[in-house]
Structure 1
């Protein structure tokens, strides 16, 4: 029972950090609507979070302190990728003609996971949230079982969120049956990507 508090704290902390609409979440939502490679994508995102959270709880957040240039380097790389990906979604929104088809043309699993990897590992905010914030909060708990429970709770939140987002997206399938709905979604995703890219370039 004493481990429940750190586990719930870890779960709530992690969930609060990934709930915000971001590039990664928008991509998972889109693939969930397409019902294409959903399991592989959700598993990849959750496992990436699990690895980063584990590193943060283990105390490797000091890496960014030792290499102060690292967050900026990731920020520039991530911004470049987001600008290009946003442009692709903007072009799709402009051209239209897309329809929701289960298992439709959404790219190979390699292409999907490659995009997910870029959206995840080139985003410096991911490192700040996991290695920095979650790692810092974990120090409130004594090393050992309590800190492990905190980390497991944080990892569990990530798994719950991504699989709920990926598979829950299909509930929106009836509304996405029209090409216009896809044009609006792609336009929204493009705007989100460019806003995040601007924040990264401005150091926000």
Structure 2
């Protein structure tokens, strides 16, 4: 049992510890200290649901119905492109940058909606959590749910560390240049992710 949990934890971390659209969003909100707990909870709970679906056998359905991933790719690419434009605008326009550094917090519904979209409109999330985790978990037989638990714990650890750990960089958050560079990087990440999704349609 312990081996299955540890294996799931390691495998889960190996899938999510990467610079992607969702992680970039969590990092940015962590630096701004806006709704961090809610965002970490949304990301962790979403992964737990998807991992459970994969361990339960939903991965076979996803693989058998590629149209699901096609729709997710199109919707995800459209959202990521829009977010890339907003991030680029913040990086390029001094007015938007000033608002980002010291302005009022964004509305909670809008922030959480963006978090949900970045999570559920990303087909890579389904491939990683539902298909890959589900496939590897099945190799553990009766211990597959313990493997899934380990993967979910890994997700919780990562998002908590990323969201709450970002405050350690708070001295940098008071510099306009930091936000300009961060938003420029986020724009490139979102653009790259959207391009990858569209290329995957071929």
Counterpart residue number, 2:2: 4
* Contact kept in structure 1, 2:32 and 2:173, CA below 8 Å: no
Aligned residue in 1 for 2:110: 111
Moved over 2 A (4+): 96-101
The total of aligned residue pairs comes to 198
Q: Contact (CA 8 Å) 2:78, 2:194: kept in 1 or not?
A: yes
Cα drift, residue 106 of structure 1: 3.4
The 5-angstrom pairing of residues 162-201 of structure 1 reads: 162-201=159-198
- What is aligned with 2:18? 20
Q: Answer whether contact 1:57 1:135 (CA < 8 A) is retained.
A: yes
TM-score of the pair, normalised by structure 2: 0.94
Matched residue, 1:34 = 32
Matches within 5 A, 1:95-110: 95-96=93-94, 97-98=97-98, 100-101=101-102, 105-110=104-109
For the Cα contact (< 8 Å) 1:41–1:113, is it kept in 2? yes
2: CA distance, partners of 1:158 / 1:147: 17
Question: Aligned residue for 1:44?
Answer: 42
Q: Deviations over 1:73-126 (max 9, x none)?
A: 10111001000000000000001333545xx53312211110011100000000
Q: Name the counterpart of 2:145.
A: 148
TM-score by length of 1: 0.94
Q: 3-state DSSP class of the match of 2:47?
A: helix
RMSD over equivalenced CA pairs, Å:
1.2
Partner residue in 1 for 2:133: 134
Q: Secondary structure at the match of 2:66?
A: coil
Shift of 1:7: 0.5
Post-superposition shift, 1:150? Answer: 0.5
Gaps of 5+ in 2: none
